């Protein structure tokens, strides 16, 4: 089994806010991230596939095909958006980076699993929000 990890970048803004909490509770839980106008991040996304090396190509997965899938499913959907306002799944769900990481994994899973010639599959998504915070999701 060989792991292939490819890195992508996108920018998006969000506001961490839960309508079920009071203004004081939101302020305590989310701090400055509860700013009513939102705030932005330059995210670094790592997509990891796992699979055997194809004997004919010498690769786990076609990088151009992976780039196309990530562009279509993730970057076009999230880059330069306000997650709370522009992404349906985050209109009622708090767009934490944890939730965004899971959302990206789920968007990629069906397209990437078993799509390679030798059955490579999506292993993990890692999303870096800042130089201090990153989150990983392997499905569940």
**Domain range annotation of the chain:** 2-137
Average pLDDT over residues 114-122: 78
pLDDT at 62 over 70: yes
DSSP 130: S
pLDDT value of position 140: 73
From the list 46, 98, 129, 136, the catalytic residue is 129
From the list 33, 98, 121, 136, the catalytic residue is 33
Active site residue 121: no
What is the percent of the chain where pLDDT is above 70? 97
Residue 117 — very low, low, confident or very high, per pLDDT cuts 50/70/90? low
The arrangement of strands across the sheet holding 39-51 comes to: 81-82, 2-14, 39-51, 121-128, 134-137
pLDDT at 114 over 90: no
DSSP 53: P
| CB proximity list for 113: less than 8 A, separation 6 or greater | 121, 122
From the list 73, 80, 82, 98, the catalytic residue is 80
Token pair 């292939």: residue: 4
What is the dihedral angle through the alpha carbons of 125, 61, 64, 106, rounded to the nearest 10 degrees?
-30
pLDDT at 139 over 90: no
Instruction: Tell me which CATH code domain 2-137 carries.
Output: 3.30.479.10
How deeply is 15 buried, as exposed, middle or buried, from its count of CB atoms within 10 A (0-12, 13-18, 19+)? buried
Active site residue 136: no
pLDDT at 115 over 80: no
pLDDT value of position 60: 93
**pTM greater than 0.85 (yes/no):** yes
Average pLDDT, the chain: 95
Strand boundaries in 2-133, DSSP class E: 2-14, 39-51, 81-82, 121-128
| Least confident stretch, 5-9, 90-94, 95-99, 136-140 | 136-140
pLDDT at 20 over 90: yes
Active site residue 129: yes
């Amino acid at each position: 089994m060989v792991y292939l990890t490819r890195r992508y970048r996108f920018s998006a803004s969000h506001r961490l806010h839960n309508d079920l909490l009071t203004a004081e509770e939101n302020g305590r839980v989310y701090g400055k991230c509860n700013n009513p106008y939102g705030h932005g991040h330059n995210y670094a996304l790592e997509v990891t596939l796992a699979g055997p090396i194809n004997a004919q190509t010498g690769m786990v997965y076609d990088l151009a095909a992976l780039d196309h899938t990530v562009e279509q499913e993730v970057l076009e959907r999230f880059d330069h958006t306000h997650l709370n306002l522009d992404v349906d799944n985050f209109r009622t769900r708090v767009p934490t980076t944890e939730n965004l990481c899971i959302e990206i994994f789920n968007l990629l899973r069906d397209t990437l699993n078993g799509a390679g010639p030798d059955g490579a599959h999506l292993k993990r998504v890692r999303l870096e929000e800042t130089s201090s915070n990153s989150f990983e999701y392997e499905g569940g």
